[in-house]
Amino acid sequence: MARSKGLLKEKHLKDGCKGCRAQDKKCAWVKRDCVLLRKHQIAFCFECPNFPCENLKKFDERHIREDQLSPIENLLRIKEVGARQWLAEQAEAWKCPQCGGNLCVIDRECYDCGYPCP
């Protein structure tokens, strides 16, 4: 969200991660840790026979601890309903109840009106 609002610099965020899918070289942990993702042999981790691998589990634990979000849970849902449906669900889940803007899953607030996530 910070990206689409042009707030990356202001929020001191790196212009890297675009989400739970390896898209390019900027995905640092993927580049470092996973040959399949790096060589684009898979697009989502759940396509891997080792899913969820130790690297992904560590990554997941960190995000649960720091952001109360589980990339593995997201990946399982994407596998179940498809990326398009998952995105629609996320848009609904993170819609600001006050102004209809988008809540930031990391900062836990609406970048449009400042509404704090519960």
CB closer to Zn ion, 7 vs 17: 7
Query: Are 103 and 109 within 8 A, CB to CB?
Result: yes
Containing 67, the helix (H) or strand (E) segment is helix 54-67
The count of chain residues that interact with Zn ion, using the rule CB under 5 A, is 8
Helix 83-93 to helix 71-81 angle (10° resolution) is 120
Helix 71-81 to helix 54-67 angle (10° resolution) is 110
Tell me the closest approach of the beta carbon of residue 99 to Zn ion, in angstroms.
3
Distance separating alpha carbons of residues 110 and 13, to the nearest angstrom = 17
Q: Counting contacts by CB under 5 A, is residue 113 touching Zn ion? A: yes
Tell me the closest approach of the beta carbon of residue 110 to Zn ion, in angstroms.
3
Q: Is the peptide bond before 52 cis (omega within 30 degrees of 0)?
A: yes
Tell me the closest approach of the beta carbon of residue 68 to Zn ion, in angstroms.
19
CB closer to Zn ion, 85 vs 98: 98
CB closer to Zn ion, 33 vs 112: 112
In the region spanning residues 40 to 99, those forming contacts with Zn ion, defined by CB under 5 A, are 96, 98-99
Contact positions vs Zn ion (CB under 5 A): 96, 98-99, 101, 110, 112-113, 115
